[in-house]
A and B are shown apart, each in its own frame.
Chain A
């Protein structure tokens, strides 16, 4: 890390405020990744606005150093952590605040009753939480009312489960919320709140929106609750209830996993209800947000864009003929389903032995999976060495040398690598996830008229993937048409300038009159 990244955090003086407060959960400026890169571009692309950053992390010890150099229009950076130190000694007999628990009970009943029923109760809960977060936390941890509430809901909802597990699940689920309530009191004011996920950052945004009335924008790249759900289904720290009796309706997901998943769904709903504008990258995610409780009228699609110049320049470096090389550019992790790519590549090479297949991306994140992929790529049947894992490489070096950009992910939002490939003149074969179909085939009629920039296949289908790749490689005319469609689409619809202009407009519209 460079010295500049270890500088002290910029801090807004008392009474001052930024134009935009960005609430960031586990991302910018400490963790690298797609969302972080996007945030960085957004801030740099709107130099006329000032930003304050509110980072939410697990614990201070695991935060790490800044991964990005802060642009000069970041005027404030503060960090909050979900793990709050435990009080050394529980206080004595604590009855608990009656009105807080009454409102909390209303809120939880409202969750159960369905959408549109939580607003009033939520306001009362938020009022208590923000006014005195420490007392609320102590009441939750130690008071008799909290005990009554927990045991009553246990008796009503889970009387046959492990009480120990129930108790600690409830505690662990709620503890971070009190830490966020304490954080809400300290976040400096801003003309507009912008949160880049639901989840814990979304909860903090909800508290701030309801307490301060500043307009709230949500941008979701991936759908937080959906990704949490996948993570929780795989988490091994959750106690799997082995006492699932014959009476259990949903045996596929353990009860305690369901509690966790349910919490994130509820937080998602609270955040959507509090938001003034709910933005996502493509139509599929917008529909998902509506299904998860987002009021449809406040949703909109605002796709990401890329910096064209850099990739345009790469087109000149392409050879005259289509290179017999296919590549998957992405991290070597299960969600990218590298194994399907390798299987498809073997099928392609079986038909076209001169073809090479590259996997370009870092392998550190999941070493076990990377090892499996190496093993599968090297499996000997006369094609040794045709399938290569190259590790992390700059895309500028890769795009001019490949014929087809392949994406076999089982989950994506709006993969920029597809657009970057288009801009560099590379057609794409991608799975039907996220907005890959929209990127390759187009959205509205005008867009579709530009033609297909490649092909879309179902997930985990190496045969179809191989077939579509071979069709492109075997037919130069088809390949050129796909290339031209990709270039036209990205230049018309997916430029960074377009995205920045749309956010500039969105922010401007959110600034309440008289706050300029």
Chain B
């Protein structure tokens, strides 16, 4: 032939359906577990203190400070949580296990620096004469941020039991230390908290290091443009901003909140109902988590293995249908279980909320909130499925919608008056959930097209 020198080569798209570990998807859901333990423990401290009749203001200050710390540290950690977990998942897929620990340390350095700066800036606005409180506040910020980072990583590595154990022991220590240290006032409570968080941090760090030893100490490779998915950073921040937006709106309005320590504020009408209602997601999340880990993950593997192994399109469509069924079943379980939970809570609502020392008039808000957190959980479930299918850009948009909705509608609800408190959160969560469900359903309907052509 005409001296033909070139080969016809298949330009197989690299990695397009190589089954990357989608662990970070699950991390998003599992992440709410430790958070619930945290909330539960803090409520216990609150109840216990009330029960023994110690200084209510100090306890309220403490709970307010910790809540504030959690909100901000989750947003800060959100910047790197998913980025790091995805990076680690990719490295483990490449069998480069020694990259895990140094990059974790690198991420911790970043989170500590960012958390430290924000914490110091905030504590400068604290009233004078609170030196130890300032120091402990900054330490708490740094410790919490790192704990969230480690929690996400360990969940991504499927060390669920380790996470639960560390959190259980850690908060047991905090509750235990809170008693003897209570006599030092707010600083004492904060010291108990920081010590407990520090212990959790060390514990989780040791677990990761034991499983993924490395000769190197620190690496920032997870930030390099080649390895990082920056959209995950935006998702992490936006999602946490969205979840906390209504709280900040109520904290920042002098009508609905009071100052506790400088910028740390507290909304008596808003905070307790919503945090108590967060406990209601436990059953729904647990059931969904099992579904995703068992049925959906298996259906997902079957579908993508079949793609790789060259099954017929007909078979792929059949497996797609199975995948859709399992996703639908998982999401439906959230609605079903959470619906049941809500029904029970609504029946018990008023007496239950009385338990937390909230006047019965706020039980109305509590009812709105349990519905709202139900939608938020549902949304989280949809995000998990979208993460599995690697629709990061879509999740980013949905997080932005949720954040914008929660901010604007919460402001609107404040303007409309107390009868509408909580609706900003509930309606924005519901709208975003509906939008997400629609988007997910659209993608799943033509999964094969998306798998091959996207």
Contact = CB atoms under 8 A, between A and B. Distances in A.
B312 interface: yes
Nearest to A24: B2
Given A163-B316, A175-B11, A57 B5 contact: yes
A222 B3 contact: no
B396 to A, nearest CB: 13
A414 interface: no
Contact of B7 (A58, A143, A171): A58
A62 B6 contact: yes
Given A26-B2, A31-B5, A163 B311 contact: yes
A25 B4 CA distance: 7
Interface in B204-218: none
A86 interface: yes
B36 to A, nearest CB: 37
Interface string B295-314: 00000000000011111111
Contact of A237 (B10, B309, B446): B10
Interface in A24-41: 24-27, 30-36
B2 A35 contact: yes
Dominant SS among interface residues on chain B: loop
A386 B452 CA distance: 60
Contact of B10 (A32, A168, A197): A168
Interface in A53-81: 57-59, 62
Given A147-B452, A172-B8, A165 B310 contact: yes
Contact of B313 (A154, A221, A222, A260): A154
B147 to A, nearest CB: 35
A24 B4 CA distance: 10
B348 interface: no
Interface string B246-257: 000000000000
B13 interface: yes
Contacts of B313: 151, 154-155, 159, 163
A26 B4 contact: yes
Contacts of B10: 168-169, 172, 237
Interface string A98-142: 000000000000000000000000000000000000000000011
B453 interface: yes
Given A144-B449, A155-B313, A83 B11 contact: yes
B2 A25 contact: yes
Interface in B140-195: none
Contact of B453 (A62, A142, A163): A142
A147 B449 contact: yes
Contacts of B453: 90, 141-144, 146-147
A27 B2 contact: yes
Contacts of A171: 11
Nearest to B14: A86
B16 to A, nearest CB: 10
Contacts of B13: 86
A32 B4 CA distance: 10
A126 B302 CA distance: 42
B258 to A, nearest CB: 47
A467 interface: no
Interface residues of A, number: 54
B416 interface: no
A159 to B, nearest CB: 6
Interface string B1-27: 111111111111100000000000000
B454 interface: yes
A357 interface: no
Contact size range, B: 20 to 34
A172 B7 CA distance: 12
A364 interface: no
Contacts of B448: 151
A159 B454 contact: no
Interface in A14-29: 24-27
Nearest to A85: B11
B9 A83 contact: yes
A57 to B, nearest CB: 6
A43 interface: no
A196 interface: yes
Contact of A164 (B2, B3, B11, B308): B308
A62 B312 contact: no
Given A162-B311, A162-B312, A164-B308, A26 B3 contact: yes
Nearest to B16: A90
B3 A36 contact: yes
Nearest to A155: B313
Contacts of B310: 162-165, 239
B3 A57 contact: no
Contact of A90 (B11, B311, B314, B454): B454
> Which interface residue of B11, B311, B314 has the most chain A CB atoms within 10 A?
B11
Contact of B1 (A163, A172, A222): A222
Contacts of B11: 83, 86, 171-172, 175
A163 B2 contact: no
A196 B4 CA distance: 12
Contact of A57 (B6, B9, B307, B316): B6
B33 to A, nearest CB: 34
Contacts of A32: 3
Interface in B342-398: none
A159 B446 CA distance: 18
15 contacts: A26-B2, A26-B3, A27-B4, A58-B9, A86-B13, A141-B453, A154-B313, A159-B312, A163-B311, A164-B309, A168-B12, A172-B8, A237-B7, A237-B9, A237-B10
Going nearest first, the 3 A-B pairs with the smallest beta carbon separation are A58-B6, A162-B310, A33-B3
Interface of B: 1-13, 307-314, 316, 446, 448-449, 452-454
Given A25-B4, A164-B311, 7 more contacts: A58-B6, A58-B9, A83-B11, A90-B454, A141-B453, A164-B310, A235-B8
